[in-house]
Amino acid sequence: MKYDVIIIGSGLGGLECGYILSKQGYNVCILEKNPQLGGCLQTFRRGKMNFDTGFHYVGGLDEGQSLYRLFRYFQLLNLPWQRMDENGFAEIILKDKSYFFASGYEHFTETLSRDFPHQDRQLKRYALFLKNVGENTLNNFTSQKENEFSVTSLFERSAYSFLQQTIDDPLLRNVLSGASLTMELCAEKLPLYVFAQINSSFIQSAWRLKGGGSLIARELAQSIRRMGGSVLTNAKVTQIVEQNGLVTGVQYNGEEQVEGKYVISDIHPALTLALIPESRYIRKIYRKRITDLPNTCGMFTTHLQLKPNKVAYRNRNIYLYKNQNPWDCGYSSDGKTSAALFSYQPPESDGVFTDNIDVLTPMHWAEMAQWADTSVGKRGKDYTDFKNRKAEECIGLALETIPELNNNIERFYTSTPLTYRDYTGTWEGSAYGMQKDYNHLLSTLLSVQTQLPNLFLTGQNLNLHGILGVSITSFLSCAKITGMETLIKDLNQ
């Protein structure tokens, strides 16, 4: 078969690229190695219940905001989105005291100023900065004009230093960092743009999705097929075929082959290069640079299945820090879990009770090293014991924070970075893609263009992670084929 564009992987970036190019009239084929589409948008079923894999909530989905514009384009606004509590979409618990993030920059400032009246001026300055970043998000990536809030200038600044310079009160600095289990907080590396753009997006507006992230993947795949594209599952790409410096197609499942004028890879860049045999057109130093780049940490998730009609649904996320500092990666001095995100599943109907709560805590790949060469169901008793010990720690934090869980947990399921690696294809089970470093911007912020002129990259490893970041990157990847002006015109219609 011959296609205009072959896309490797059906994560959000791959599906969005497939949608964009199908809409532009290109004949597209998406190849997914797993039985289920969606990458980290996948859901899984245990008994009668569905659980999310990596999707929990989004920001900036109100009319006129960045994700609204993008999801209007992708025809995703009609999904069952649920606005989170505007008076407190996030509850940050430090020193056994709760602080709330409200929706809207002014409301956000007013709410926190009640707890920090002496920091009112600094809070207003902080919120104004986030507002300017948020309002420039799409323009930053689609325009060549430089301004105070340009991507490059803010990627070259330290998020940690910015907080130190902007906010006087150390406790308030920790509170403002408290909803950032949506990124890896690393004081020595995290660029200001990553911190500001993600926090700004959620402060604009915060939303959950009834039914889980797989609804997004399903809707995009159906749209692609309606426009004439192909979306294949159980199709593992085993080689990218290159001849004389151009990609001519891909081989999948070891024997099937499809031809294409262009290839876009939504899998990890190092895995992408591993699919290309030695070629004089891809320099060894380029391969080594990408393969050696560090990945961000993963997540350990304890999925709590609850007894029916026992635990009231809370329309917000809860972030707990036992050691009070969000920048320490979630571990106490004794190595036990000290930070967690509690995410409630919205009731399927308009009921008041939730059926499950996910407890997420950071986990580094080094903790998985002894089982790295094992496969699903064959990791042994030590691995099961490790997961159970970790789950007990997480459940203990949950019971402290949400007392009504006591005697109301029916059963629990767990996932580790190994689970994410094996089921979603995420390298090292990384939650946020390749680690960005403001000290080494040119080497850690990857281009969508590879050293082969018709092979492009997309997904969370390049510019920004998360739903908004990946959606923006999908436009950057497709613009290499269509031109950016064409896509912006279509986006703005």
70: in domain:
no
Nearest CA-CA partner of 81 in 71, 91, 73, 69: 71
> Are residue 318 and residue 412 in the same domain, yes or no?
yes
Q: Tokens representing 474?
A: 């999908």
- The three-state secondary structure class of 472 is helix
Which amino acid makes up residue 48?
K
- The three-state secondary structure class of 121 is helix
> Are residue 287 and residue 300 in the same domain, yes or no?
no
Q: Which range marks the domain in which residue 370 is found?
A: 82-208+295-429
69: in domain:
no
pLDDT at 426: 84
> Are residue 261 and residue 301 in the same domain, yes or no?
no
CA angle 216, 238, 31 (to 5 degrees): 25
Decide which of 381, 397, 429 is a domain's last residue.
429
> Are residue 6 and residue 38 in the same domain, yes or no?
yes
485: in domain:
yes
Q: Which residue has the tokens 């309002």?
A: 135
- The three-state secondary structure class of 287 is helix
Which amino acid makes up residue 396?
G
CA dist 354 → 188, 313, 409, 427 (Å): 39, 5, 12, 32
74: in domain:
no
Element (H, E) at 28: strand 28-31
pLDDT at 335: 65
CATH number, domain with residue 27: 3.50.50.60
> Are residue 8 and residue 50 in the same domain, yes or no?
yes
Q: Looking only at Cα atoms, what is the longest distance across the chain?
A: 67
> Are residue 444 and residue 400 in the same domain, yes or no?
no
User: What is the spatial distance between Cα 90 and Cα 100, in angstroms, rounded to a whole number?
Assistant: 6
Instruction: Please say whether the beta carbons of 419 and 139 come within 8 A.
Output: no
Element (H, E) at 239: strand 237-243
Decide which of 406, 429, 452 is a domain's last residue.
429
Radius of gyration of the chain (CA): 22
> Are residue 271 and residue 287 in the same domain, yes or no?
yes
> Are residue 343 and residue 283 in the same domain, yes or no?
no
> Are residue 87 and residue 174 in the same domain, yes or no?
yes
Decide which of 395, 429, 463 is a domain's last residue.
429
65: in domain:
no
CA atoms within 13 A on the CB side of 384: 6
pLDDT at 279: 87
User: What is the spatial distance between Cα 397 and Cα 394, in angstroms, rounded to a whole number?
Assistant: 5
User: What is the spatial distance between Cα 122 and Cα 128, in angstroms, rounded to a whole number?
Assistant: 10
CA angle 136, 185, 382 (to 5 degrees): 135
355: in domain:
yes
* Residues 6 or more apart whose Cβ sits within 8 Å of residue 83: 205, 206, 207
> Are residue 176 and residue 163 in the same domain, yes or no?
yes
User: What is the spatial distance between Cα 34 and Cα 235, in angstroms, rounded to a whole number?
Assistant: 7
How does pLDDT run along the chain (493 residues), one tens digit per residue? 899 999 999 999 999 999 999 999 999 999 999 999 998 888 887 777 788 888 899 999 999 999 999 999 999 999 999 999 999 999 999 988 999 999 999 999 999 999 999 999 999 999 999 999 998 887 766 654 544 446 678 899 999 999 999 999 999 999 999 998 888 999 999 999 999 999 999 999 999 999 889 999 999 999 999 999 999 999 999 999 999 999 999 999 988 999 999 999 999 999 999 999 888 899 999 999 999 999 999 999 999 999 999 999 999 999 999 888 898 765 554 567 889 999 999 997 778 999 999 999 999 999 999 999 998 888 999 999 999 999 999 999 999 999 999 999 999 999 999 998 988 878 899 999 999 999 998 888 899 999 999 999 999 998 888 999 999 999 999 999 999 989 998 988 8
> Are residue 335 and residue 401 in the same domain, yes or no?
yes
Give the chain's domain count: 2
> Are residue 167 and residue 231 in the same domain, yes or no?
no
72: in domain:
no
* Residues 6 or more apart whose Cβ sits within 8 Å of residue 383: 371, 374
68: in domain:
no
CATH number, domain with residue 132: 3.90.660
State if pTM tops 0.85: yes
